[in-house]
Every structure is written in structure tokens, then in C-alpha cells.
Amino acid sequence: MGNKTHLEILYQGLDAWNAWRRKNPKVRPDLRGISFTKVDMSFIDLHGADLRDSVLREVLFNYANFKNAKLDGADLSQTALLYANLSQASLKKARLIRSNLTDANCEKADLSLANMKWAGLWRTNFRQAHLTNTILTEADLQDAYCQKAVFDGADLRKTILARADLQQASLRNANLQSAILVEAHLESADLRGANLQSTDLKDTSFYKAKLGNVTFNDALLDGTILSGCDLRTCHFNKASLVNSKMIGCNLQGVNLSGLDLRGAVLWKSDLTGADLHNSDCLDVEFAECKMANANLQNAILERTEFGAADLTNANLRGAQLENSSLLGAIVEGANFDKCVVYGLSAWDLIGTPKSQKDLIISPRNQGDVTTDDLEFAQFVYLIYNNQKIRNFMNTLTEKNVLILGRFSPPERKIVLDGLRENLRSFNLLPIVFDFDAPTDRDLTETVQTLASMSMFVIVDVTNPKSTPLEMEATVKQFKIPFMPIIDTSADPRPFAMMKDLQKSFHWVLPTLAYKSKEELFKNLKLAIVDRAVEKHNQLRDQKAKENIPMLTIEDLLKSNRRNQSAKFKKKKKATALL
């Protein structure tokens, strides 16, 4: 029991007690086992007092001073402690069921094993407080200050922690099932082994928090910040991660299958071996992510960003990639079979996919138009579905002009560039071949490709170097006008093979001689454009009049019978001679 003298002073009333405390500040009142119920002790000074095992149910302790007090095992059920000072107080195993500690100061207080079920703890200060194994079931800690507080093993089921500040707090093995942590701050907090199943975590920040073995099953993580976290051992079964931020996270091997990740940002995260099959990843950003061996089968990946992502050996079979970007992605060994790639941007892919069969390039509900190459798919679709592109492809050869020649010395390059500039005024699309050859084909193949898309070709044969070879490779293959030109002030006559080409192929026009670039550019329409267009039209008319040979199956059968009969007669004659 407590000290009788101290108890007598207390019974004299609040004013007498506080006056005695002011005169004897160093005395630690001994009020162990005291019993008070339904009394008003607001503003009482109980700092350093020993109230262990006391019964203080339904007492008003508003603005009371319990600093450094001992309340271990005390029953403070339904007590009002508004604005009370419990800093550094000890409340181990205390009962604070349904108590109201709104705005109370519990900084560095020890509330280990206390029962605070249904307690009102709005804006309560728990900075660096110890609440190990404390029962806080259905308590209300809205806007509470809990920086560096210890909640290890605490029971926080259905607790309201909306907007609570739990930065650097420890919640190891805490049970937060069905709790509400909307907009809470858990930056750098330690939640290893914590249970957050069915928890509402909308817009909560876990930036750089320790989340080993955390259970997020059925949790609402919409808008949640998980950036900088190691999530390898976390469980997300049936969780919602809409608009979540997981930048720079470690998600190696994590199971995210079937989850709603719409609008999530996973920039630079490591998803090596992660399982996202059947997940909804609409508008997700996977830019620069490591996704080797990841499973994205049948995932919804519309408008998803994979720029520079590593998809080595990833499985994207059946995924919906409409309007997504794979710009610069590594796709070595990846499986893209049966993907929907309508509107996909697949430029500068690195590596070769393992398989990319039956890629669907058509919009939904418009039939399945398929192809078997990601980079080619976007081109095929433009031809298939875009009238303007089809028109462009049809008129491509009516505008393109390929210009070939030497680019050194500089005066030769000046002529070629001048031709390009002046031809544009005639609504033509000149192409000067002055770029390096692609790595996977030689120069001749590139020239042939460009020539096949051109209306006519201008070839400057002044002091030629590779030009004769380029003409030899293209003239015989493409029936389009070739317009040789030569600067007689630098080279009096064309190369010897030119005469043979002009004699054998009538679409190689007579060589046009000019004395200066000014003379050439001034008479460009008459000397080149008009002649080339006229020849182009002649060739087109000739092609239209050409008869297309036809062969029937009946013709083939008759020919085969004649051949068989001839062989039989020959064999019979040879046998007779023997």
C-alpha cells in the first residue's frame, strides 16, 4: 500500500496536494494501490509518483502531470488524459481501455504490455515511446506523433493510424491487420515480420522502410510509396497497387500475379524472376527495370513503358501491349507469342526474341491481323489500317529521288547537296546517299533498297569511285529512270562501262554534261526533272501494257504426260538395242 501521509494530503483536495508538491519537489509520492473512480483530478501534479497497481477508472486527469510516474499495472480504463504529460512515465501492463489521451504527451513513456484497446489517442505524442506487445486494438491514433516509437509485437488490429507519423518507428512483428494507415508516414520504419493483411494503406509512405516478410495480402496500397524498399520476401496476394510508387525497389521473384497495378511506377526496380502473369499493368512504368525471366503472360500492359528495360528470357506470351513502348528494351530470348501489339513502339530493340509468333496488330473487335516480328509489326499495321500511310506508300515512288555520287573532294559534295535543295522546290523528296552503311548489310544492298523506293535516280559520275558498282547493282534490277550527270570541267568523259549500260538498258538516259553547278541548278527542270518524269511515265505505260503470262493446271498435266511418254519411248528404244 501507499504512504499514509501522502494519501492524507491527497484526500485534502487538489489545491492542498499541488501546494505540497510545490514545496516538496524532490519527494516521490507513494500512492501504490490507490483507488479513485469518477473524480476530477485535472491539473494534478503527479510527476515521479508511484501509482503502481492503482485503480483510477473514469477519472479526469486532463492536463495532469505524470512525468516519470510509475503506473505499472494501474487500471486507467475510460480515464480522460487530455493534454496530460506522461513523458518518460512507466505504464507497463497498465489498463487504458477506452481511455482518452487526445493530445497527451507520452514521449519516451514505457507502455509495454499495456492494454489500450479502444483508446482515443488523437494527436498523442508517442515519440520514442515503448509500446512493445501493447494492445491497441481498434484504438484511434489519427495524426499521432510516433517517430522512433517501438511497437514491436503490438496488437494494432483495426487501429486507426491515418496520417500518423511513424518515421523510423519499429513495428517488428506487429499485427496491423485491417488497420487504417491512410496517408501515414512510415519512412525508414522497421516493419519486418509485420502483418498488414487487409490494411488500408492508401497514399502511405514506406520510403526506404524495412519490409522483410511483411504480409500485404488483400491490402489497399493505392498511391502508396514503396520506393527504395526490399520487397523480395513480401506477400501481396490480392493486394491493390493502383498508382503506387515502387521506384528502385527490389522485387526479385516476388509474386504479383493477378494484381491491379494500374498507373504504378516501378522505374529502375529489379523484377528479375517476378511473377506478374494476369496482372493489370495499364499505364505502368517499367522503364530501366531489370525483368529477366519475369513472367508477364496474359498481363494487361496497355500504354506501359518498357523503355530500356531488360526483358531477357521474359515470358510475355498473350500479353496486351497496345500503345506501349519497348524503346531500347533488351528482348533477348523473350517470348512474345500471341501478344496484342496494336500501336506498340518497338524501336531499337536489343537482342532477338525467342519467339514472336501470331502478333496481333489490329484493334480489338476488328479481326485478328497477325505478323511474326515486333519491329515489323508497327510498319505492317500502318500499311494495313492507316489510309494516309497507304496513300503515302502508293505515291512513294512518285516523289523519292535518289542522288548518288562522290562526297570528296568537298566541291563534289556541294553539288549533291545543291541538287537536294533545288529538287525540293519541285515537290520531290530527294535522298542523298551520304551516310554510313548499316551494320547488318553492305553499301550495295542499302543503295538497292533506296533505289527500289525512288521515282528516278540521279548519278553524278564525275571522277567516280563506287558509283560504277552502284549503277551495275541497281540498273539491271530496277526498271526506273537513271540520270547520269558529269562535270566536264573536272572530268571530260564518263567511265567506260556507262556506254554499255545505256546501250543495254534504255532507262539509263544519255549523260548530261555541265560546266558549273550554277549552270546545272539554273536548268534543273529542263535538263533533269522533265526528262526523268517523261521516261518514268513511258516505263509505267509499258508495264501496264505487258501481258501477264498464265498457266493452267490442265496445261501442266498435258506437259507432264508428254514428258512421261517421251521417257517411256526412250527407255523402250534403249532396251531394244540391247
Give, in order, the Cα–Cα distances in Å from 351 to each of 114, 294, 306, 313, 319.
61, 17, 15, 11, 19
User: Any idea where the domains of the chain sit in the sequence?
Assistant: 394-545
What is the pLDDT at residue 385? 56
Pick the CATH number of 394-545 from 3.40.50.300, 3.40.50.2300, 3.30.390.50, 3.30.499.10: 3.40.50.300
In 3D space, the residue among 112, 172, 176, 173 whose CA is nearest the CA of residue 164 turns out to be 176
What is the pLDDT at residue 552? 78
Length of the chain: 578
Question: In the structure, what pLDDT confidence band is assigned to residue 389 with cuts at 50, 70 and 90?
Answer: low
Position 321 pLDDT exceeds 90: yes
Average pLDDT (49-54) is 95
User: Are β-strands 400-404 and 429-432 bridged in parallel, bridged antiparallel, or unpaired?
Assistant: parallel
Higher pLDDT, 170 or 366: 170
What is the pLDDT at residue 303? 96
Higher pLDDT, 241 or 440: 241
- Cis before residue 409, ω within 30 degrees of 0? yes
Question: In the structure, what pLDDT confidence band is assigned to residue 330 with cuts at 50, 70 and 90?
Answer: very high
Q: Which three cell numbers stand for residue 24?
A: 516538496
CA pair distance 340, 375, nearest whole angstrom: 13
What is the pLDDT at residue 437? 41
Condensed to tens digits (0 to 9), the pLDDT of residues 332-385 reads 999 999 999 888 888 889 999 999 888 888 777 665 667 777 777 766 666 555
Position 442 pLDDT exceeds 80: no
Question: In the structure, what pLDDT confidence band is assigned to residue 529 with cuts at 50, 70 and 90?
Answer: very high
> Residue 210: CB partners within 8 Å, gap ≥ 6?
189, 190, 191, 192, 229, 230
Instruction: Work out the mean pLDDT of the chain and round it to a whole number.
Output: 89
CA pair distance 291, 27, nearest whole angstrom: 67
Condensed to tens digits (0 to 9), the pLDDT of residues 445-480 reads 778 888 888 899 998 888 877 777 778 888 888 899
**SS3 annotation, 217-271:** CCCECCCCECCCCECCCCECCCCECCCCECCCCECCCCECCCCECCCCECCCCEC
Buried b (16+ CB within 10 A) or exposed e, 332-351: bbbbbbbbbbbbbbbeebee
Position 434 pLDDT exceeds 70: no
Give, in order, the Cα–Cα distances in Å from 130 to each of 49, 154, 187, 211, 551.
19, 10, 19, 20, 94
Average pLDDT (214-228) is 98
What is the pLDDT at residue 441? 46
Position 59 pLDDT exceeds 80: yes
Average pLDDT (228-237) is 97
CA pair distance 74, 385, nearest whole angstrom: 78
Where is average pLDDT lowest: 141-145, 233-237, 522-526, 565-569?
Answer: 565-569
Question: In the structure, what pLDDT confidence band is assigned to residue 229 with cuts at 50, 70 and 90?
Answer: very high
Where is average pLDDT lowest: 80-89, 117-126, 482-491?
Answer: 482-491
Cβ–Cβ < 8 Å for 487, 515:
yes
Give DSSP secondary structure letters for 282-342: TT-B-TT-B-TT-B-TT-B-TT-B-TT-B-TT-B-TT-B-TT-B-TT-B-TT-B-TT-B-T
CA pair distance 181, 223, nearest whole angstrom: 12
Cβ–Cβ < 8 Å for 163, 144:
no
What is the pLDDT at residue 337? 92
- pLDDT over 70, % of the chain: 91
In 3D space, the residue among 113, 88, 446, 87 whose CA is nearest the CA of residue 96 turns out to be 113
Question: pTM of the entire structure?
Answer: 0.71
Average pLDDT (424-431) is 86
Residue 458 burial (CB count, 10 A): 25
417, amino acid identity: D
CA pair distance 487, 439, nearest whole angstrom: 33
Higher pLDDT, 562 or 118: 118
